Amino acid sequence: MRALIQRVSSASVTVGGATVGDIGPGLLILICAMQGDTEAQADRLAAKIAKLRIFKDEAGKMNRSVQDIGGAALVVSQFTLSADTARGNRPGFSTAAAPETGERLYEYFAAQVQAQGIPVATGRFGADMKVALTNDGPVTIWMDTEAA
């Protein structure tokens, strides 16, 4: 699985003009299931993200997790994280999981983040979503279970 994590002051996602998910301080997690991904990878990724120390402590050092600060997570599916840009100017997405698998793993991942004690809001899988965020820092982290 691939994830792009952003530390945010706030974030929201709208579909068709209606807000379907929003959070205050916490993490915006853009997530993509890749071909061959499993629930075990989603488990490891959710646990790692929940403990990722990217929030400032009293000394201003990135030393606290989203759990430590009582933050929330907005989890949004984004198959374009699978983009292959090696050839030509049009990215290919053939390494992304099939839509049925992608949706199942997306929902499973969001549930696993919530199981870590983090309030979770979500987007809508496969929808044309508008994501708004205030990136705090900015802090943006790329994670891939293949590299972990």
Tens digit of each residue's pLDDT, the chain (148 residues): 999 999 999 999 999 999 999 999 999 999 999 999 999 999 999 999 999 999 999 999 999 999 999 999 999 999 999 999 999 999 999 999 999 999 999 999 999 999 999 999 999 999 999 999 999 999 999 999 886 5
Q: Which residues of 57-90 are buried (b: 16+ CB within 10 A; e: fewer)?
A: eeeeeeebbbbeeebbbbbbbbbebbeeeeeeee
42: left (phi over 0), alpha (psi -120 to 50) or beta: alpha
pTM across the whole model: 0.95
Catalytic one of 79, 112, 114, 122: 79
Domain boundaries, position 76: 2-144
DSSP state of 145: T
Q: Dihedrals φ, ψ of 52, to 5°? A: -60, 120
Residue 45, both tokens:
């990724």
What CA–CA distance (Å, rounded) separates 135 from 47?
A: 22
Residue 75: partners with Cβ closer than 8 Å, 6 or more residues away: 29, 31, 106, 109, 110, 113, 120, 121, 122, 123
How many domains is the chain partitioned into structurally? 1
93 in active site: no
Give percent helix, percent strand, percent coil of the chain, each to the nearest 5.
25, 40, 35
Sign of CA dihedral 15, 141, 49, 93: positive
Catalytic one of 6, 14, 78, 145: 78
CATH number at residue 63: 3.50.80.10
Catalytic one of 19, 80, 134, 140: 80
80 in active site: yes
